[in-house]
């Protein structure tokens, strides 16, 4: 499940070892900003992506084969 506004750790897939945060933008319907970084505090940026709707967001995760652990779901720091 994709969680919004929480930091997630990409355990496997493209970009494994990076951190991700999804921001829902106030469009109607909402679009999404996908922020990525090398560290969980997002001080060392890696990149960002924009997708136009929820289906595109879901497709983005599938295409990257991402397995993400969100917030307190993370078992331990890498």
Q: What share of the chain is helix, strand, coil (3-state, %, to 5)?
A: 15, 35, 45
Lowest-pLDDT range of 12-16, 45-49, 62-66, 70-74: 70-74
Q: Phi/psi at 8 (nearest 5 deg)? A: -120, 150
pTM: 0.85
pLDDT value, residue 71 = 84
- Given a cut of 90, whether residue 31 has pLDDT beyond it is yes
pLDDT mean across residues, the chain: 91
Helix (H) / strand (E) element for 24: namely: strand 19-24
């Amino acid at each position: 499940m994709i969680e919004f506004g929480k930091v997630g750790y990409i355990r496997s897939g493209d970009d494994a070892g990076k951190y991700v945060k999804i921001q829902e933008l106030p469009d109607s319907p909402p679009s999404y900003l996908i922020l990525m970084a090398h560290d969980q505090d997002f001080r060392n940026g890696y990149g960002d992506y924009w997708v136009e709707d929820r289906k595109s967001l879901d497709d983005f995760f599938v295409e990257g084969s991402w397995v993400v652990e969100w917030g307190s779901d993370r078992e331990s720091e890498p």
